[in-house]
Chains A and B, each alone.
Chain A
Amino acid sequence: MMNKLIFGRYIPGDSIIHKLDPRAKLVASFYFIGVIFIANTWQSYLFAGLFTLGCVLLSKISLGFFLRGVRPLIWLILFTVALQMFFTTGGVVYWSWWIFTLTQYGVMNGIFIFCRFILIIFMSTLLTLTTAPLELSDAIEYLLRPLKVLHFPVHEISLMLSIALRFVPTLMDETEKIMNAQRARGVDFGEGNLIQKMKAVIPLLIPLFVSSFNRAEDLATAMEARGYNGGEGRTKYRKLDWHLRDTLTIVVFAVFTVGLVLLRK
């Protein structure tokens, strides 16, 4: 069940996109999500689409992965598109029934929203597919650093983030083990009505919580024994390197914005 989720999956590789500094990638994809709202003509969407396709091709990851990323969200996308199509008024009316009207603007808006969704999903999937979770957490820590001025606990948050990421597979394994152990004792997961289903989760959830508490205690002891004494006076083993290609990425995105603005109506 967990294998289907493509969000947050990382595919190791050595393409140019893989080698980019995670900070550049993170900033660029957030920037892209913001900037895509500038587009409002079919030319600009075509331009944005080609740009995204170019990025995807550079990553050397097959398109299938990205399409699979879209799949779990397809109903949400179609629902939003339908709302836009049938409830936007203006332009030539093609068809009308009760409160639903299909108009020229409605169709156009629907198509734009569809494109916007797909482009955003492609870009964010590109980020997670080409960046190791650890690199992402390093990037987030770096980008949050200015918040230190406001006494925001940047070190603690990033430590929590990296420990959380490190324990995801461990806890997944454990969940699987507990589920199988409870199945062996006769618990039916995913059977019956909603109430029964929820009740079946209890024998999974409680042991998982208890073991997480024990893990946390063990981990805290081990960290203390290894001299962990808060964020003060620590050095860092991992280092992020900003190269020319990272600056270039930012430049490319700036040029992309100019293009979008020019193609606007």
Chain B
Amino acid sequence: MDSIINLQDITFTYDIDTPRPALSEVSLEIKRGEWVAIIGHNGSGKSTLAKTINGLLLPQSGSIQVGNMDLNEGNIWDIRKMVGMVFQNPDNQFVGSTVEDDVAFGMENQGIPREEMLVRVADALEQVRMSDFKTREPARLSGGQKQRVAIAGVVALRPDIIILDEATSMLDPEGREEVIATIKKIKEQSNLTVLSITHDIDEAANANRVLVMKEGRLIDEGTPEKIFSAGPKLVELGLDLPFPEKLKAALKARGIPVPAEYLTEEGMVDWLWTSVLNK
């Protein structure tokens, strides 16, 4: 697999006067088709990192490569065509006056002919199961529905990379699950690269690889299993534990020996019923 995003020693400071940069010497590589989650506490630089990838923020030093292009002022709009972003607040990123207008907005910007747009809007809305809401106004949609429309707007542009910048953080658990399931489905269909920036540990559990950020630095990376088995260390980083880990901790406190490695919910169920039967 070839790499699609390549960051070398990125350093970014919002305000030159502040002592601590928002990002310091961050290097990372993301392969095509990978799902990478970036986790970290508030103010750890996750969102800043996401914005540097499509040139919304330009780092003071370091180099950014997206799909074999070195990001610079000249090709910024080409890179933005490759990278679709979904942001946190469902209301504030809804540009169009109705669902279909919003999905079409990005395509209008790229100058795609109207006939093509009609096909792609219908197609993208079908993919996020929002076809019935085509002519609805944003005020009459739920948060999860608005985020699905935002995803449709990105999907219609056929990007290579989707960045979810805390896209589920303002949703209720139901909306969150819906959005993640939608992304998962679309990713499988079109070999997308997904970079999800999140607080939500369940969202991170879907990833192939998890990167952990703290105070503007990448401090750890690995499979979700590896990162989550760190248990209490996650809490120190201001993150929540996944449910199986919480259950393990509660069992441990009651003197029941538990396996050290990370188990998914299913794995936990398997372990529980086998250990009860083996007793």
Contacts and interface: CB of A to CB of B under 8 A. Distances in A.
A51 interface: no
Interface in A113-143: 133-134
Contact of B157 (A215, A223, A226, A235): A226
A134 B114 contact: no
Given A235-B117, A237-B100, A226 B89 contact: no
A168 B80 CA distance: 29
B91 A170 contact: yes
A169 B136 CA distance: 13
Nearest to A221: B56
Contact of A218 (B54, B89, B106, B112): B89
B111 A222 contact: no
Contacts of B157: 226-227
B89 A237 contact: no
A224 B87 CA distance: 12
Interface string A224-250: 111111000111111100000000000
Interface size class of A (residues with CB under 8 A): 20 to 34
A60 to B, nearest CB: 20
Nearest to A170: B91
B12 to A, nearest CB: 15
Contacts, number: 96
Contact of B95 (A134, A169, A223, A239): A223
Contacts of A219: 92-93, 95
Interface string B210-232: 00000000000000000000000
B56 A169 contact: no
B77 A227 contact: yes
Contacts of A160: none
Most-contacted residue by chain B among A134, A165, A166, A233 (CB, 10 A): A166
Interface in A249-265: none
Contact of A228 (B51, B81, B109): B109
Contacts of A237: 100-101, 104-105, 107-108, 114, 117-118, 121
B94 interface: yes
A163 B92 CA distance: 11
Given A170-B139, A227-B81, A239-B114, A134 B56 contact: no
A229 B105 CA distance: 12
Interface string B114-126: 1001100100000
Contacts of B107: 235, 237
Most-contacted residue by chain A among B91, B113, B153 (CB, 10 A): B91
B8 to A, nearest CB: 22
A173 B140 CA distance: 11
A162 interface: yes
B18 interface: no
A69 B105 CA distance: 35
Contacts of A218: 87, 89, 92-93
Contacts of A224: 56, 80
Top-5 shortest CB links A-B: A237-B104, A222-B93, A218-B92, A169-B139, A226-B106
Interface of B: 51, 54, 56, 77, 80-81, 83-85, 87, 89, 91-98, 100-101, 104-114, 117-118, 121, 137-139, 153-154, 157
Given A165-B97, A237-B101, 18 more contacts: A166-B95, A166-B96, A166-B137, A219-B92, A219-B95, A221-B51, A224-B56, A224-B80, A225-B80, A225-B87, A226-B84, A227-B81, A227-B106, A228-B95, A233-B111, A235-B107, A235-B113, A237-B107
